[in-house]
Amino acid sequence: MLVIPVLKQIRYGLIASCQALPGEPLHGSETMAKMAKAAEEGGAIAIRANSAEDVRAIKQAVGLPVIGIVKRDYPDSEVYITPTTKEVDELIEAGADMIALDATRRKRPGQVTLETMVEYMKSQNMPVMADISTLAEGLYAASLGVSCVSTTLSGYTSYSPNLAGPHLELVKESAERLAIPVIAEGRISEPAQVEEVLRLGAYAVVVGSAISRPQLITKRFAEAARKAVISIHGNERSH
Ligand SMILES: CC(=O)N[C@H](C=O)[C@@H](O)[C@H](O)[C@H](O)COP(=O)(O)O
């Protein structure tokens, strides 16, 4: 296995995904840079970030490698994570150390194909993280020469299972079958799950919402309070 420098840096570590879309309370590059700084202080070894603006701001704020994506909707495609070479160019310009893209076999915008995307990134010497939803997608992405796969899209395609937690089976099978690093990503919300996926063979672990989406973190605690009150007092906070 040819080990590219950024892969060496992320090995066995926690990658914090720091993303807030327009409409989320923390949206904005300045805030995401602060979030990334906090993640760095907490021990994250890399950051996954959305948009050229956020990648640029985060690169200035932290000394960690940044895995960039651009989430963008196109009218003729369901693919929204780095769908075309336009988004790749934006991320290269912003200084991303690795770029993640949707590596499903779904139709991309216009005439763009997964094959042309990977070829383009390779021609730019840009390491590629392939976001997959199934083992078959991982095997295919590996055959194209991507640098690593991530289980990001499991539960987000119509043909992958919609689980409450991480897709452990996909992590395990991918780690067993692929000769390239497999990153565990998606619905990892407890430290124990980080250990679990590493034991199953994950090369590194991405945690997003449980670190960087405080509205969702708060919701879990508020929900716990609501359920506890019903169980203790038999009703919701009526007085
Ligand atoms: C499916 C999709 O669009 N995932 C995105 C990919 O970058 C992010 O919204 C997720 O936060 C990230 O994958 C980390 O996952 P989680 O937030 O579950 O830890």
Residue with CA closest to ligand 1 atom 6: 152
**Mean pLDDT computed over 137-155:** 98
**Mean pLDDT computed over 202-231:** 98
Helices marked H in 112-155: 114-123, 135-144
| Tokens (6 digits) for 201 | 């063979």
Residue 20 has pLDDT above 80, yes or no: yes
Q: Is the dihedral of CA 77, 134, 52, 211 positive or negative?
A: positive
Question: Quick check: 48 and 83 in contact, CB under 8 A?
Answer: no
Question: Quick check: 155 and 183 in contact, CB under 8 A?
Answer: no
Q: Which residues contact 26 (CB under 8 A, 6 or more apart)?
A: 20, 32, 35, 212, 213, 214
pTM: 0.96
Letter string b/e over residues 192-213, b meaning 16 or more CB atoms within 10 A of that residue's CB: ebbebbbebbbbbbbbbbbbbb
The residue to mutate among 185, 188, 213, 215, having the most atoms of ligand 1 within 8 angstroms of its beta carbon, is 185
**Mean pLDDT computed over 185-194:** 98
pLDDT tens-digit series, residues 160-188:
999 999 999 999 999 999 999 999 999 99
User: Does ligand 1 have an atom closer than 6 angstroms to the CB of 19?
Assistant: yes
pLDDT for the residue numbered 236? 61
Beta bridge partners of 71: 81
The Å distance, Cα 152 to ligand 1 centre, comes to 6
pLDDT tens-digit series, residues 81-118:
999 999 999 999 999 999 999 999 999 999 899 999 99
Closest among 90, 71, 93 to 82, alpha carbons compared: 71
**pLDDT category, 2, cuts 50, 70, 90?**
low
Of ligand 1's atoms, which has the minimum distance to the CA of residue 210? Answer: 19
3-class secondary structure, 46: strand
ipTM value > 0.95? yes
Q: Which amino acid is at 162?
A: N
Residue with CA closest to ligand 1 atom 1: 153
The Å distance, Cα 80 to ligand 1 centre, comes to 12
**Mean pLDDT computed over 62-85:** 98
Cα–Cα distances in Å, from 158 out to 77, 134, 168, 182?
14, 11, 18, 22
The residue to mutate among 15, 17, 50, having the most atoms of ligand 1 within 8 angstroms of its beta carbon, is 17
The Å distance, Cα 8 to ligand 1 centre, comes to 23
Beta bridge partners of 236: none
